[in-house]
Amino acid sequence: MITMTIHEAAETLAAELSGFKWFVSLGVGNPNGIQTIYVYVKSLRHPQLAGLRDGYQGFPVVIENTGVVRPANSSF
């Protein structure tokens, strides 16, 4: 049973993950009509991610390995 909106769940999860150096960002989407949380990380090798593969607060979670994010041009 979903007890919060996807945006509330995303904000809560972002707060939980924000202290980890491997965490990059978090977003929400609606692929094929299914509200989904997207977690962007520098690496997939973290035990905290294992539990998210089953979802978070009733919403599916997709974990994307972005690697280290750097500006494309140093003049930014």
Distance CA 45, CA 26 (A): 17
Q: Write the pLDDT tens digit of every residue in 41-61.
A: 998 888 888 889 899 999 999
Pairing of strands 36-41, 23-29: antiparallel
Could you state, in order of their start, the residue ranges of all structural domains in the chain?
A: 6-65
Computed over every residue of the chain, the mean pLDDT equals 89
If one looks up domain 6-65 in CATH, what number appears? 3.30.300
**14: pLDDT strictly greater than 90:** yes
DSSP-H helix ranges across 1-76: 6-17, 47-50
- Mean pLDDT on 24-33: 92
Q: What percent of the chain has a predicted confidence (pLDDT) above 70?
A: 93
